[in-house]
């Protein structure tokens, strides 16, 4: 408790210093001295206090700095990440880098970037920055553990682009973006990113020679022209991170601009058109020439957002067919609904047209039948039949020839001829009935010819032309499937033809062909006729 009080109130004059606080300072000084002698940054033991902080454990270390998880003791108690940089007094460049990082973090206020709480220096000459402690996983460790689907991963990477874009809008280039400098924390709204370690960031109004980074993620210009680095260097690193996150394979940026990238992207669980879009995005982000890249993380994030929203990417927007395909994919459900409505409307229209055509045909048939009857009765010659004694047989005898003089659609003419043939048959005008049916056969479609031929065979049967009738029956039977209505009707007619001639055995053979299809089917149309 006394040691905590000593830490909370900061350094005291030697005469007033509490013995425990004095011992902490001695321990700190000895540790710093040993590390400085060895050329390494001092590592503070857990429980060591400096300023308002007590060390809990180290979180990581670099060439000149160590990051600790610390407990802040005043004015509020909380966990913080404190970065201590050694040797800033004796190394002007290290001091300048420290100032850049401190100023960079002070200007940034974005949920995707770890915030700065405080900064200062220690009596041993070390400078420190107290930052928000992010209890999360490194980005690469997170995707290896969670194995998220590609679309969720792309949405998380979009948040990373947005966070870096916040820094770019304030003239700050991170210069060392990589999975190790991005932490992922699980929140109520899903995974969130925190960008950390702006230790080598470049500010627009400050130039530091010899800017370094992680070679595997550094843009070509970071090697050749460190002073000319701008936000496009971060775009390059983000492109490498996106490719690595999707495929699980780390490659230099130049790899993503070649056809070889298609091999790795081919294993990504995305539709083919999505993989083509990702390939085009990576090729632009990782272009060797900075002028060919997206200008900053904001532009790259907008491109990712377009990809996630199924909108055309800028990098492919010059292709008209690609833009059309994007619109179709994006509005596929409305398009499908409208197309379905159009097809249903067209179907209803065709059905209505067919029904109207059928009604029209029935109406025309009725009108023509009336007209035929009127023409038939007008044919009665008042000179030949002065007393009006003409019979129906005499009036219908030449009706078929008179019908040919009328201008009728074929479908109506066939129906009238069938009806006329039926009437003529009932009046035993066999020759006229035959003429009507043969004329109908000339006009009928192939699908109706067998039915009309069966009617003609019936006329031959009633006219006692049994050989002609049976020849038609046999031809019709051979062309019909066994068990079909026409097949059964033809067999029954064949039986009738032989029964009329007193030939029981041939009639029995025809009936035997019918029996298998009639047995147990009392509702069959020909069952009553057979009985």
Catalytic residues: 176
Place of tokens 């003609």: 456
Alpha carbon of residue 144 to chain centroid: 26
Q: Which of 431, 379, 385 is nearest to 403 (CA)?
A: 379
Distance separating alpha carbons of residues 77 and 365, to the nearest angstrom: 100
Distance separating alpha carbons of residues 28 and 68, to the nearest angstrom: 15
CB 27 within 8 A of CB 48: yes
Paired with 172 in beta bridges are 203
Distance separating alpha carbons of residues 8 and 25, to the nearest angstrom: 13
Q: Which of 398, 396, 377 is nearest to 388 (CA)?
A: 377
Convert 160-182 into a string of H (helix), E (strand) and C (coil). Answer: HHHHHHHHHHCCEECCCCCHHHE
Q: Beta 65-72 vs 53-61: how paired, if at all? A: antiparallel
Distance separating alpha carbons of residues 71 and 49, to the nearest angstrom: 9
3-class SS of residue 378: helix
Spell out the residues 6+ positions from residue 2 whose beta carbon is closer than 8 angstroms to its own.
18, 20, 21
Structure token digits, residue 85: 């940089």
Q: Which of 467, 443, 479, 472 is nearest to 455 (CA)?
A: 472
Spell out the residues 6+ positions from residue 349 whose beta carbon is closer than 8 angstroms to its own.
none
Paired with 185 in beta bridges are 192
Distance separating alpha carbons of residues 327 and 517, to the nearest angstrom: 59
User: CA 453, 457, 463, 467: dihedral to nearest 10 degrees?
Assistant: 130
Question: Which long-range contacts does 353-362 make (Cβ < 8 Å, 24+ apart)?
Answer: 361/409, 361/411, 361/412, 361/415
């Amino acid at each position: 408790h006394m040691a905590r009080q000593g830490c909370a109130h900061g350094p005291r004059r030697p005469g007033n210093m509490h013995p425990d606080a004095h011992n902490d300072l001695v321990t700190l000084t000895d540790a710093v001295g040993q590390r400085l002698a060895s050329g390494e940054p001092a590592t503070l033991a857990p429980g060591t206090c400096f300023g308002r902080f007590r060390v809990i454990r180290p979180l990581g270390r670099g060439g000149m700095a160590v990051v600790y998880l610390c407990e802040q003791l005043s004015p509020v108690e909380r966990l913080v990440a404190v970065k201590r940089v050694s040797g800033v007094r004796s190394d002007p460049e290290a001091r300048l880098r420290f100032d850049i990082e401190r100023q960079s973090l002070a200007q940034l206020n974005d949920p995707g970037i770890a915030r700065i709480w405080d900064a200062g220096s220690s009596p041993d000459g070390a400078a420190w920055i107290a930052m928000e402690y992010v209890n999360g996983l490194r980005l690469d460790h997170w995707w290896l553990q969670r194995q998220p689907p590609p679309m969720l991963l792309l949405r998380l990477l979009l948040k990373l682009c947005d966070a870096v874009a916040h820094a770019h809008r304030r003239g700050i280039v991170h210069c060392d973006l990589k999975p190790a400098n991005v932490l992922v924390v699980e929140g109520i709204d899903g995974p969130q990113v925190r960008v950390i370690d702006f230790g080598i960031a470049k500010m627009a109004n400050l130039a530091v020679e010899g800017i370094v980074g992680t070679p595997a993620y550094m843009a070509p210009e970071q090697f050749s022209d460190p002073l000319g680095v701008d936000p496009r260097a971060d775009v390059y690193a983000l492109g490498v991170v996106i490719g690595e996150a999707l495929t699980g394979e780390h490659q230099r940026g130049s790899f993503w601009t070649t056809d070889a990238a298609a091999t790795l992207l081919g294993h990504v669980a995305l539709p083919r058109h999505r993989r083509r879009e990702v390939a085009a995005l990576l090729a632009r982000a990782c272009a060797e020439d900075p002028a060919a890249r997206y200008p900053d993380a904001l532009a790259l994030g907008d491109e990712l957002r377009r990809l996630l929203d199924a909108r055309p990417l800028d990098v492919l927007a010059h292709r008209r067919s690609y833009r059309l395909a994007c619109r179709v994919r994006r509005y596929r459900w409305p398009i499908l609904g409208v197309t379905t409505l159009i097809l249903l409307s067209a179907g209803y229209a065709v059905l209505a047209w067919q029904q109207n055509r059928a009604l029209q045909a029935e109406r025309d048939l009725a009108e023509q039948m009336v007209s035929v009857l009127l023409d038939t009765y007008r044919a009665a010659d008042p000179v030949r039949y002065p007393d009006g004694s003409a019979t129906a047989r005499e009036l219908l005898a030449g009706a078929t020839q008179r019908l040919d003089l009328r201008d009728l659609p074929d479908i109506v003419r066939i129906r009238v001829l069938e009806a006329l043939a039926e009437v003529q048959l009932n009046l035993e005008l066999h020759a006229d009935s035959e003429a009507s049916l043969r004329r109908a056969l000339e006009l009928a479609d192939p699908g109706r010819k067998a039915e009309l031929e069966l009617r003609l065979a019936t006329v031959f049967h009633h006219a006692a032309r049994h050989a002609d009738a049976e020849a038609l029956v046999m031809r019709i039977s051979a062309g019909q499937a066994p068990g079909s209505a026409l097949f059964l009707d033809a067999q029954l007619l064949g039986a009738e033809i032989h029964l009329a001639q007193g030939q029981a055995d041939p009639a029995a053979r025809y009936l035997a062909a019918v029996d298998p299809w009639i047995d147990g089917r009392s509702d069959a149309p020909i069952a009553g006729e057979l009985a």
